[in-house]
Chains A and B, each alone.
Chain A
Amino acid sequence: MFKKYMSTSMVILFLLVSFSMAFASEGPGGNDRKGKYTYRKVYKACAKTGGVESATPKISPADKTMGQWQEIFENKNFDEFGCMDNWSVLPDKDILDIYSYFYNHASDSPSPATCK
């Protein structure tokens, strides 16, 4: 009885791990190419209104791990990015794209962002 219970639990655990790994590897599911453009566009607009000095964003996806970006974007905690006025008007789709850009090119991702 115990053996049967254990084997069933192992199968369930295996399936859960497999599913979570599969979903984790897919990332947020947005358009990371578009996200990169939108992210830079936010800073260009912000620089024009004097929100930041440089139109080139200071934060790069490779500055943090996937897990860290996940926490920031899922909690919508964009304080360290600055330019809050610009972030607050972004549609959810654009935020998802930017999230995908940061997540897919995080320091521990298969393709971390370079300075470009």
Chain B
Amino acid sequence: MKINKMKILILAMVAGLIMATGCTASQTAKTAETAKVDTSWMFHDIVDAAFVKANIAVPMPENVILIDARPYKGKYVSGYIPGAVSIPFSQFDKNINLLPTDKNALLIYYCQGVKCKLSHKSAKKAEKLGYTNVKVYAKGYPEWISLKGNYGAFEAEHVAKLIADNNTVIVDARPLKTKFVKGHIPTAVSIPFSQFDTLKGKLPRDINTPIVFYCGGLKCRLSHKSAVKAIEMGYTNVKVFDKGYPEWKKMYGASKEAMQVTAGTVEGSIDIKRFKDILEKDPESILLIDVRDKDEFAKGSFKTAVNIPVEDLEPKIKDLSDKKPVVFVCSTGARSGEAFYMVKDVRESLKDVYYVEAEIDFKSDGTFVIKEPK
């Protein structure tokens, strides 16, 4: 009897075990089946960060395009893989013209990580268009930016925001004399890559300070090389503005380059040829102050000039903007020269100040004749 009870107990345990294992096996099979279903939305050709890195360069090879399929405003603007172009999936059909004409070109799509479907959907569409070499970097930007030694890139509008926030160091990696002094992004400091090692002391002490390097655009490597060096130094928040100064000029105007004023031979005077050039091409780039009397000004002056008679100038000097070069004009250079020396005396810190040492004959129709001093 006892043996029978034992047999029943053992049989029950065995049956229980069989049921338990059978159940687990069936659950595993179900999970695998579910996972298989879940990955069906993915593109068939997935690559990793190493593949991306191996195929991108500065400048980008002609037969390779790295495409950010995320929304432009919310994502791309504030961080993307350097060299990537923005073709959000929602805008795919409108931006087919941005894809290479060569159907054998390498197209690498990415978006916001493994759960993001935008890059996969875009890749499928591209393949339907006839592209034969399409890949998806599925782990996308979140993985890219987390990998040691990697850095992201910003759009110009994000750089503008960083400048406004005033907590990021913007570094111009181009040569000082031939590029930086002719025009640069506001607040940028000059650390030409060729002098990086000697000038790196200009970088912030706090290694967590955000730093953005830029140079002469997508074909320029200087910002990238500088970013790599900064990362090697231990800086933790390094980015590049890879479209660089050409893009900045396009978005926010010519900045200092067009405003560049050349001094004349007489102390404080502006080079007359340069002055004529500025009036013709970019008069808004300077603050032009006509220091003649109001009645003289009313009879004719430069279109962009403001009138502050020299007698009224002194109390207003403290309010003069330092955002643009200040150029004083009158009809002979006497009053404008006086204005120049007044500024030098009253507000020495205002450095970009000039006057026109020439006779100017203003006509009532807005035209003028400038006679250079002999």
Contacts and interface: CB of A to CB of B under 8 A. Distances in A.
22 contacts: A31-B267, A33-B266, A33-B267, A33-B268, A33-B334, A33-B337, A33-B338, A33-B355, A34-B267, A34-B337, A36-B334, A36-B337, A36-B341, A37-B337, A37-B338, A37-B342, A37-B345, A40-B338, A41-B345, A105-B334, A111-B332, A116-B334
Contacts of A111: 332
A37 B345 CA distance: 10
B332 A36 contact: no
Interface of B: 266-268, 293, 332-335, 337-338, 340-342, 345, 355, 357
- The winner among B333, B341, B342, B355 for most chain A CB atoms within 10 A is B341
Interface of A: 31, 33-34, 36-38, 40-41, 105, 111, 113, 116
- The winner among B268, B333, B335, B338 for most chain A CB atoms within 10 A is B338
Contacts of B338: 33, 36-37, 40
B340 A33 contact: yes
A113 B340 CA distance: 18
A36 B337 CA distance: 9
B166 to A, nearest CB: 37
Contacts of A116: 293, 334-335
Contacts of A38: 341
A36 B342 CA distance: 10
Contacts of A33: 266-268, 333-334, 337-338, 340-341, 355, 357
Nearest to A55: B311
Nearest to B268: A33
A58 to B, nearest CB: 15
A116 B338 CA distance: 11
A44 B334 CA distance: 18
Contacts of A113: 334
The 5 closest A-B pairs by CB, nearest first: A33-B337, A37-B341, A37-B338, A34-B341, A36-B338
A53 to B, nearest CB: 17
